[in-house]
Amino acid sequence: MTENTLIAVARGEEPADLWLKNAQVINVLSAEIHPADVAIYGGRVVGFGQYEARQTIDLEGRYLCPGFIDGHVHLESSMVQPSEFARAVVPHGTTAVVSDPHEIANVLGLDGVRYVLEASEGLPLTVYVMLPSCVPATQMETAGAELSAADLATLLDHPRVLGLAEMMNFPGVLFRVPEVLEKIGMAGQRPVDGHAPGLSGKDLNAYVAAGVRSDHECTTLDEAREKLRLGMHIFIREGTTARNLRDLLPLVTPANARLCHFVTDDRHPEDLLSEGHIDDLVRKAVAQGLDPVIAVQMASINTAEYFRLRNVGAIAPGYRADLLVVDDLKQFGIAQVFAAGQLVAEKGRFLPSPAELPRVPLENTMHLDLTALDFTIAADEGPAKIIGVIPEQVITEKLSAQVLVKNGQAVADPAHDLLKMAVVERHLNTGNVGLGFVKGFGLRKGAIASSVAHDSHNIVVVGADDADMRAAVEAVAEMRGGQVVVADGQVKARLPLPIAGLMSDQPLEEVRDRLEALTAAARELGCVLPDPLMTMSFLALPVIPTLKLTDKGLVDVEQFAIVPLFGQ
C-alpha cells in the first residue's frame, strides 16, 4: 500500500476495505466520545464519515475504542508460548504488548530474546520487546547467559525492539558502574524502563537523571506521587502476585493522566482465563470512579506515546486499525476485536486457526549431571539460618533454629515444618547445589520441584526427604523443564515446560488444569500455601529481602552477600 493510495481512499476516490458505521468513538486524542463512521484501508484508519467500502458493519451505536496495550509484561509468566498467549488476551481487547523477555534471556541469552521475536511474528497481537538490562540479575547465582551492552546493541535495529527494559540494578546506576551506564547509553534516545521499589530522595533524583523514565514497582500513593513529580511515567500494575491498582488509582487526575499507564507485569494462566488482561484493569478503574475515557487513554495512547510508537493507540486517519467494539462503559464487554483492520476475535472467541500461529522450537536447556546430585548437609555448630515463607509474599523472613541432626547430618524435620531446600544449577553443568532450610510450606512428606525460579531459573526443590527431592529433580530434567510434586518416589502431578524450562507448548487451559493439579497434590502432602509453586519460584531471587537461596548458597539480601548456613 502506497501513501498515494491511502490518500485516495481517505478522499473517497477509491473504496475502503471496511466501513464501521454508527459507532460511538472513544477518541483518546480529543478526550471525548462522539458519533462517527470509521473507514479502514490496508490495515489503517483512513477517515471519519461516509465511505464506499467492500464490507460494511453496522455497530448500532456501540462504542469503538483503540486496542489495549500492556506497557510491561513478561510473556514467560503466562507459562505458554507467545501464540497461545495471544489466543488468551486478544479476545480481551489486547492488541499489543511491550514484553521484557528477561526470564528466558537468563536461560538462553540473545537466543531467548530472538525466540520471543520470532515466535510472535505474524500474530494478531503485536509483541514489542524491551531489551533485558540485567542478565544475570546478580553475581550470586549462575544464569544461562550474560548480556553486555554490545550484545544487546545487535538487536536494536529490529523494528519491534523499543529500548532498554527495567533497570533493576538501580544501585549500579547510583554508583556509576560502567557496564550499567553503558547499557543506558546504548539505548540512546530510546525509552529506558525503571524498577526501583522504594527509591526516594536524592537517589531517586540520580536514577531519573541517568535517563530512566518509568517505574512499575510503586506500591504506595506517596511513592508514586514523588516519582510522577520527577517526570517518571507511572505504570500501574495489576498482575497475579502484585496488585497495586486500588492503592495507586487515586494518583490519576485529568491533568496528569498522560503519564499514567496500565500494565500486568506477570499474569498466570488462571487469572488470564478468569479475570482477563488489560480489560480487567480498565474495568476495575472505571468501577473505582475513573472516567472511562481516561481509563482507555491509559490503556492505549499514553503507552503508545511513551514508547514512541507512531500511528498506534488511537482512532484517527493514518493510525493502525487496532480497534475494539465495546458493548458498554462499565463492564467493558468486548464484542469484536480488529487487528490491523482484520476481525480476529468475536464475543470472546479467538478466530485465527491454531495452525496459522507460529511455533518455534527451542533446544533442551537442562544441562546437569543427575548422578552427582547430593543433598546432604553436614551439621555444624550453632543454629541454622532458616528461610521463613510469608504466604502470598515474595519477601521472606530470616529465622534461626536448631535443626534435626542424624548421623552428623542436618536433615528435614517435617514434624516441625522445617524442610530442606536446594537450588540445582541447570545451565552450565557446574554441579553447583545450594542447600538450606525453609519453614512455612507444611509438607509432611514428599517434595516439590520447579525449573521456574526467578531470575536465573535453576531448579528449585523443597522436600521432606532427600530421596523424594532427588526424584523430583530427575522428573524436572526428564521433562526438559517443568514442575512436579513427588511422594514416595512417585510423581503425583506434573507440568512439563519444555520451552526453556519456563513455558509449555500446550494450550493455556491445560496448563491451568495441571497447575491446579499440582497445588492439589501438594495439599494432599500437607502443604498449607495457597500457591506453593509460585512461592517457591521466588525463594531463589536474591534481590528481594530477606533470606534467599541460589545455586551458590544462602543469600542475606540485606547484606547482599552469601552467608554460612550455620551460626549467627
Give bridge partners of residue 556 from the DSSP assignment. Answer: 547, 561
What is the domain partition of the chain in residue ranges? 69-306, 370-563
Contact 433, 423 (CB under 8 A): yes
∠ Cα 69 26 337 (to 5°): 50
Give bridge partners of residue 56 from the DSSP assignment. Answer: 19
H or E segment at 473? helix 466-478
| Stated pTM of the model | 0.95
Residue 4, exposed/middle/buried by CB under 10 A (0-12, 13-18, 19+)? Answer: exposed
φ/ψ of 191, rounded to 5, equals: -65, 145
Contact 565, 436 (CB under 8 A): yes
* Cα atoms in the 13 Å half-sphere on the side-chain side of 110: 11
Give bridge partners of residue 459 from the DSSP assignment. Answer: 424
Residue 496: the pLDDT is 97
Residue 544: the pLDDT is 84
Query: Which grid coordinates belong to 468?
Result: 523424594
Query: Which grid coordinates belong to 297?
Result: 487513554
Going by the DSSP 8-state scheme, the letter that residue 174 receives in this structure is: H
Longest dimension (CA), the chain: 90
Q: What tens-digit pLDDT sequence spans the chain (568 residues)?
A: 678 999 999 999 999 999 999 999 999 999 999 999 999 999 999 999 999 999 999 999 999 999 999 999 999 999 999 999 999 999 999 999 999 999 999 999 999 999 999 999 999 999 999 999 999 988 999 999 999 999 999 999 999 999 999 999 898 999 999 999 999 999 999 999 999 988 999 999 999 999 999 999 999 999 999 999 999 999 999 998 888 999 999 999 999 999 999 999 999 999 999 999 999 999 999 999 999 999 999 999 999 999 999 999 999 999 999 999 999 999 999 999 999 999 999 999 999 987 666 666 788 999 999 998 999 999 998 899 999 999 878 889 999 999 999 999 999 999 999 999 999 999 999 999 999 999 999 999 999 999 999 999 999 999 999 999 999 999 999 999 999 999 999 999 999 999 999 999 999 999 999 999 999 999 999 999 999 999 999 999 998 889 999 999 999 988 989 999 998 7
**For residue 477, what are the CA distances in angstroms to 52, 319, 499?**
60, 47, 12
CA–CA distance, 284 with 340 (Å, rounded to integer): 27
CA–CA distance, 342 with 321 (Å, rounded to integer): 8
CB atoms inside a 10 Å sphere around CB 157: 7
β-strand 323-326 against 63-66: which pairing, if any?
Answer: antiparallel
Architecture of domain 69-306: Alpha-Beta Barrel (3.20)
CA–CA distance, 47 with 317 (Å, rounded to integer): 5
Residue 355: the pLDDT is 67
CA–CA distance, 5 with 384 (Å, rounded to integer): 74
Query: What's the pLDDT tens digit per position in 494-526?
Result: 999 999 999 999 999 999 999 999 999 999 999
DSSP three-state, residue 204: helix
Q: Can the peptide bond before residue 136 be classed as cis, meaning omega within 30 degrees of 0?
A: yes
β-strand 342-346 against 323-326: which pairing, if any?
Answer: unpaired
Query: Which grid coordinates belong to 195?
Result: 524498577
Residue 30's contacts (CB-CB under 8 Å, 6 or more residues apart) are: none
Contact 254, 294 (CB under 8 A): yes
Residue 517: the pLDDT is 98
Contact 244, 218 (CB under 8 A): yes
Radius of gyration of the chain (CA): 25
H or E segment at 216? none
Residue 520's contacts (CB-CB under 8 Å, 6 or more residues apart) are: 493
In the block, cell 478468569 appears at 274
β-strand 233-237 against 214-215: which pairing, if any?
Answer: parallel
In the block, cell 484501508 appears at 41
DSSP three-state, residue 544: coil
Residue 357: the pLDDT is 63
